[in-house]
């Protein structure tokens, strides 16, 4: 427990809230009652400050901190980008890393050049210096994983691929990936990100697939509305 004797009430309230990320996130999202929060943290604050506190004073300090944490107005560049984007979802995906060897390259090339891929069926192939990374439908790569099991570095199944397609020029916009990742982090969604312009692929756990897709759909919808209002 930190001691705040000699510190201001505002600083102490800030430290108390920041020590509880779930409270901080709720405060930023505007879904927390200031009075209820004040009553909850007053006992700890009184111990740390070694003095009696009035609820009204704590509420004022909470409100001041909440005002500081309010998100800035959406960046017009982000709005235009998101307004002109689209999102796609594919489930039952497998994410696999292989050692980069001739037999692996041949097998993966054969898999990806097959003519029976359905329209819109997503597959991602990235070759590094000594590894090959593949994302595709689990049923597509199951046989290949068995045949190349000695060359598999690791593989993850039961994932979903949420692909966010943006205008090509968007990839030069500073901070746009951080903006999107932050929105997912606030919802407790863990991601792997693969960029391949014009697509930004978010690999998520199957249980988070619909939540991620819905979040991005809402982002696009809200951005279109805000962008249209700004241009009126």
pLDDT at residue 106, as a whole number: 92
State whether 137 and 194 are in the same domain: yes
Flag whether 196 is in a domain.
yes
Flag whether 2 is in a domain.
no
Three-class SS state of 171: helix
Flag whether 167 is in a domain.
yes
State whether 155 and 190 are in the same domain: yes
State whether 130 and 212 are in the same domain: yes
Q: How many domains does the chain have?
A: 2
State whether 157 and 103 are in the same domain: yes
Flag whether 166 is in a domain.
yes
The CATH number that applies at residue 92 is 3.30.2130.10
Q: Which of 37, 69, 101 is the last residue before a domain boundary?
A: 69
State whether 39 and 119 are in the same domain: no
Flag whether 3 is in a domain.
no
State whether 142 and 225 are in the same domain: yes
Flag whether 165 is in a domain.
yes
Flag whether 23 is in a domain.
yes
State whether 48 and 135 are in the same domain: no
Residue 103 has a CB neighbour count (10 Å cut-off) of 12
Three-class SS state of 165: strand
Structure token digits, residue 141: 């790569």
Contacts (Cβ under 8 Å, ≥6 apart) of 197: 168, 171
Distance, CA of 77 to chain centre: 20
State whether 111 and 220 are in the same domain: yes
- C-alpha angle 18/66/178, rounded to 5°? 70
CA distances for 153 relative to 46, 104, 117, angstroms: 54, 12, 26
pLDDT at residue 5, as a whole number: 53
CB 89 within 8 A of CB 160: yes
Angle, helix 102-112 to helix 138-147, in steps of 10 degrees: 150
Q: What is the pLDDT of residues 177-204, one digit of tens each?
A: 888 888 898 788 999 898 888 889 999 9
Flag whether 4 is in a domain.
no
Render each residue's pLDDT in the chain as its tens digit; 232 residues. Answer: 445 555 788 899 989 988 888 888 788 777 889 999 999 999 999 888 888 999 999 999 999 888 887 665 556 778 889 999 999 999 999 999 999 999 999 999 888 887 677 767 778 888 888 999 999 988 889 889 999 999 999 898 889 999 999 998 888 888 888 888 888 987 889 998 988 888 899 999 999 999 999 999 999 999 998 878 877 6
pLDDT at residue 214, as a whole number: 96
Task: Find the domain containing 18 and state its range.
Answer: 9-69
CA distances for 137 relative to 106, 132, 159, 186, 224, angstroms: 19, 16, 9, 28, 32
Q: What is the pLDDT of residues 55-65, one digit of tens each?
A: 999 999 999 88
Q: Which of 19, 52, 69 is the last residue before a domain boundary?
A: 69
Q: Which of 69, 96, 115 is the last residue before a domain boundary?
A: 69
State whether 135 and 33 are in the same domain: no
State whether 62 and 146 are in the same domain: no
State whether 160 and 211 are in the same domain: yes
- Determine the Cα–Cα distance for residues 80 and 228; give it in Å rounded to an integer: 9
Q: What is the pLDDT of residues 134-145, one digit of tens each?
A: 999 888 898 899
pLDDT at residue 128, as a whole number: 85
State whether 35 and 90 are in the same domain: no
């Amino acid at each position: 427990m930190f001691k705040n004797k000699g510190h201001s009430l505002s600083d102490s309230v800030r430290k108390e809230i920041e020590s509880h990320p779930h409270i901080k996130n709720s405060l930023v999202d505007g879904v927390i009652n200031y009075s209820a929060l004040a009553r909850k943290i007053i006992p700890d604050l009184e111990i740390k400050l070694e003095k009696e506190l009035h609820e009204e004073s704590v509420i004022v300090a909470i409100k001041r901190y909440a005002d500081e944490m309010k998100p800035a107005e959406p960046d017009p560049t982000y709005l235009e980008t998101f307004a002109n984007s689209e999102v796609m979802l594919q489930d039952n995906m497998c994410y696999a890393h292989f050692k980069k060897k001739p037999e692996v390259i041949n097998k993966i090339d054969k898999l990806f050049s097959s003519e029976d891929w359905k329209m819109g069926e997503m597959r991602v192939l990235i070759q590094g210096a000594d590894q090959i990374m593949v994302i595709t439908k689990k049923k597509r790569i199951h046989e290949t994983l068995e045949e190349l099991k000695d060359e598999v570095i690791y593989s993850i199944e039961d994932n979903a691929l949420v692909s966010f397609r943006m205008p090509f020029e968007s990839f030069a916009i500073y901070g746009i990936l951080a903006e999107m990742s932050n929105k997912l982090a606030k919802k407790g969604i863990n991601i792997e990100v693969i960029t391949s312009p014009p697509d930004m692929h978010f690999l998520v756990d199957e249980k988070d697939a619909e939540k991620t897709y819905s979040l991005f759909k809402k982002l696009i919808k809200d951005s279109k509305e805000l962008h249209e209002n700004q241009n009126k």
